[in-house]
Structure 1
Amino acid sequence: MENKRRTPFRSLAVHNFRLFAVGQVVSVAGTWMMVTAQDWLVLSLTGDSGTALGTVTALQFTPLLLFTLYGGRLADRYDKRLLLGVANLVSGALALVLAVLVLTGSVRLWHVHLFALGLGTVNAVEVPARMAFVSEMVGPDLLPNASALSAAYFNTARVLGPSLAGLLIAALDVGPVMVLNALSYLATVIALRRMRPGELSRPERAARAARVIDGLRYVRSRPDLVVPLTLVAVIGLFGFNFQLTLPLLARTVFDSDAAAFGLLTAAFAAGSLLAAFATTLRGGRPTAPAVTGSALVFGLLESVAGWAPDYPTAAVLLGLTGFAALYFAQAANHRVQLGSDPAYRGRVMALYTLILQGLTPLGALLVGWLTVRHGARSGLYAGGLVSSAAAITALTASRFTGGADRPTALTSPAPASSATGRNP
């Protein structure tokens, strides 16, 4: 019985989750193809400007900073399946418009800016809804495994997408890649439409409408959530700027073409994929030392990756860094999500998304400025050193504050609408 319970792919036995996973592999692969194409387009339009690339990244993530908490409120109040369907249709339409501009030769940098803002606004609703929707598809017992598998298929697509995009850009240019991305969103829409709504495990609606402030007060009352969220904030701001540092490293340090850039990104993603599969065996909520320890390892590896003397060494070190990055992110995600009451999970995961991705605009601008003055390697050095310092600070603080977890539904069930419950 125990062996069956710990099977790495056990969540795929759930019909709704299996459909969702297949749709996401196709859709996210298209998204990562788009990331590679967009980065290459920006560098081509601006003469390899790190500042321009940082600006586009900042514009894409700024809406997450502004609107994600409201997106989490929508996820707790309305049908997450419907929200996800609409979000994917809008994202596909935006991608198609930009693709047409590129194919007709009329694209300008400000078009890319508008697209980044539009996509970021949609993501402010889509990301927290998607994270909270996983628990509705599989239930609390399978949530750790399903969350890990979500990271696995995300990083499978992250390996396939940039590699394929690099080859297609070299052969056909960026326009056709963007068209494929626009079409890929339909895979998730179709999967959502074919689900069985009666098999979803939806929490009871609260007596009053979900409010953002209630979610923030709930998190503030939970020190075991505050600590990993703070660590995620620092590392997300300084350490997770690979969308900016990797293209600059490939193009300005190793003088790589589009195909080689795609492979370098794929090496990072391959390490992340291995970490995702490693976490599928997790059967419960990670401990605080597991979160901070993985953060420290990530910081050290990112710093070492910045030193890489040649392309093959960089690919290996970035693969290891990708493993550590995803392992830390998953540990923090599981610790936060498995410690949250389902009635608040949309808002809690919105806060997690806000912290991890919404701070990226500030980090992208800072790292972009740093790389202009000191080269692409400086972004990796600085990100790794700050991440390591944050992890050491958290480890030191835990010695004095203790790390006792608050009870969760795994040990003490509570009503889904209870403000004091700890359902996973």
Structure 2
Amino acid sequence: MCDGPAEGTPVEGTPVGEAPADGGAPDDDGPPPGSRSPLRGMLPDLSPLRSSREYRLLWSAGAVSVLGGFLTYVAVPLQVKEMTGSYLAVGLIAAAEIVPTIVFGLWGGALADSVDRRRLVLASELGLGLLSVMLLVNALLPEPMLWPLYLFVALLSALDGLQRPSLDALVPQVVAHDRLTAAAALNSLRWQIGAIVGPSLAGVLVATGGVETAYALDVVSFAVSLVLLLRLRTSPPPTGGEKPSLRRIAEGVRYARSRPELLGTYAVDAAAMFFAFPNTLFPFLADRLDAPWSLGLMYGAGAVGSMLVGMTSGWTSRVHRHGRAVAYGAAVWGLAVAAAGWTSNVWLVLLCLTAAGGADMVSGLFRSTLWNQTIPDELRGRLAGLELLSFTVGPQCGQVRAGTAASLVGVRASFWSGGLMCAASVGLLAAALPKLMSYDARTDEHAVRMRELRRERQEQP
């Protein structure tokens, strides 16, 4: 549970982003530079959680949802594997997610710039919870059906596409500009903890109580998350917001095209995930290595690496060339996945997957910071929709690629070939996108403009 405000209780209905009733505005400056010890400077910056009630609620609700979501993330492919024994059938789970994610991610971004973001988040969360109930009901049938799994996964992706842009667009509203890197690190840390605990817990639950137990706990997680999200203040659309339309979506696309450094982050992430996201093959790799006990560890290894970076993320606020960090992290991710495919020792595989997770954390952290520090609020929802496509469609297509490649050349070859292609493609993109590699948050015109706008809003009475 998140802590309440330091003093008093904000009045329900106060718009997100306005000064809290307790006077603890999300833009307070915190300790002066240089006041921290070197060790403390490496620890995560918790100031977004301390200074913003809204961010505490968002973070806490997300932590519960992430934990429950990872239970289903492991249970669905495992259930399909047990029902079919097919590489392709498992890979098609991701295929069922692709079109709904694209369509509803773009539409959800337009909605986030046109409606109350809090209401959209709540409605989507309720729908996601109901779909989780349906997965549970199907699993409890005497003979569970296969086709509903693909249908439910597609619907889950559609609702997630509607919700995610609003969630992402809320963060810059409730967290100070200079603390957005810290907020990104905390969001990643939340995900990492869920990615470690969730798969490990799912492995135990599925082994002892079946997939239905994992689905049941996911239902509970949605209920808790919904209660937390209900406490958020209203979040009216930006001034001048219009009804969602294809024209509005096109405006967001045109803005992204005008920003080569933004396009570069999308392209690097999409390439990294397409070529080197082999998670759908973990059940088969564990069998190939004669280590079925390692399945949960494989799903959690990347999160361990990410968490190690997140727990020492104090250094990230001193990095200003975010584009380079995005590219370097993505290249190391690919090389680590390739190494996991080369080795036949399960412990080395887990070590490589851990290294891959750490590199992905670095890339994702600075990608998120670049987005949040430079995109205007009136475009934030639509750009968040494009971001959603870059970091969800890539993994979904990557799982299809991994499953198809495994059926043709084998599981381990699918790993190492994809990892090498990832590193090569990131290198080509870095060479082709000089704006990405030269980006500097201290001097970039968009970052400077957004920093000045936030300062002006803070100074207003």
TM-score (norm. length: structure 1): 0.89
Secondary structure of 1:108's aligned partner: coil
1:182 and 2:219 correspond: yes
Provide the residue aligned with 1:108 in structure 2.
145
1:173 and 2:210 correspond: yes
Match of 2:350 among 315, 330, 337: 315
Secondary structure of 1:306's aligned partner: helix
Q: Is the CA contact (8 Å cut-off) linking 1:56 and 1:116 kept in structure 2?
A: yes
Match of 1:379 among 414, 423, 433: 414
Q: CA 1:172 to 1:323, structure 2 compared with 1: closer, same or farther past 3 Å?
A: same
Match of 2:423 among 385, 388, 403: 388
Match of 2:71 among 30, 33, 40: 33
Q: Is the CA contact (8 Å cut-off) linking 1:303 and 1:380 kept in structure 2?
A: yes
Match of 1:212 among 249, 254, 265: 249
1:248 and 2:284 correspond: yes
Provide the residue aligned with 2:80 in structure 1.
42
1:14-45 CA deviation, whole Å, 9 max, x = no partner?
Answer: 22212222222222111101111112101100
Match of 1:261 among 292, 295, 309: 295
Q: Is the CA contact (8 Å cut-off) linking 1:61 and 1:360 kept in structure 2?
A: no
Secondary structure of 1:2's aligned partner: coil
Q: CA 1:73 to 1:223, structure 2 compared with 1: closer, same or farther past 3 Å?
A: same
Secondary structure of 1:268's aligned partner: helix
Secondary structure of 1:236's aligned partner: helix
Q: Is the CA contact (8 Å cut-off) linking 2:338 and 2:419 kept in structure 1?
A: yes
1:12-411 equivalence runs, <5 A? 12-13=49-50, 14-47=52-85, 49-197=86-234, 204-206=238-240, 208-209=242-243, 211-242=248-279, 244-251=280-287, 253-257=288-292, 259-279=293-313, 281-283=315-317, 286-398=321-433, 403=438, 406-410=444-448
Q: CA 1:240 to 1:349, structure 2 compared with 1: closer, same or farther past 3 Å?
A: farther
Secondary structure of 1:206's aligned partner: coil
Cα distance, 1:223 vs structure 2: 1.4
Q: CA 1:173 to 1:285, structure 2 compared with 1: closer, same or farther past 3 Å?
A: same
1:192-211 CA deviation, whole Å, 9 max, x = no partner?
Answer: 112345xx7x7742264461
Aligned-partner Cα distance in 2 for 1:384–1:249: 15
1:158-185 CA deviation, whole Å, 9 max, x = no partner?
Answer: 1000001101111111111111111101
What one-letter code is carried by the residue in structure 1 that aligns with 2:200?
S
Q: CA 1:158 to 1:4, structure 2 compared with 1: closer, same or farther past 3 Å?
A: farther
Cα distance, 1:106 vs structure 2: 3.1
Aligned-partner Cα distance in 2 for 1:170–1:236: 30
* Structure 1, gaps ≥5 residues long: 417-424
Tell me which stretches of 4 or more aligned residues in structure 1 moved more than 4 Å. Answer: 3-7, 207-210, 398-402, 411-416
Aligned-partner Cα distance in 2 for 1:402–1:158: 30
TM-score (norm. length: structure 2): 0.83
Aligned-partner Cα distance in 2 for 1:101–1:4: 56
Q: CA 1:382 to 1:402, structure 2 compared with 1: closer, same or farther past 3 Å?
A: closer
Secondary structure of 2:374's aligned partner: coil
Q: CA 1:4 to 1:147, structure 2 compared with 1: closer, same or farther past 3 Å?
A: farther
| Structure 1, 34-43 or 6-15: larger mean CA deviation | 6-15
Aligned-partner Cα distance in 1 for 2:146–2:203: 21
Identity between Structure 1 and Structure 2 (%): 28
Aligned-partner Cα distance in 2 for 1:126–1:400: 31
What one-letter code is carried by the residue in structure 2 that aligns with 1:338?
Q
Aligned-partner Cα distance in 1 for 2:435–2:61: 46
* Structure 2, gaps ≥5 residues long: 1-31, 455-461
Aligned-partner Cα distance in 1 for 2:378–2:35: 30
Cα distance, 1:328 vs structure 2: 1.4
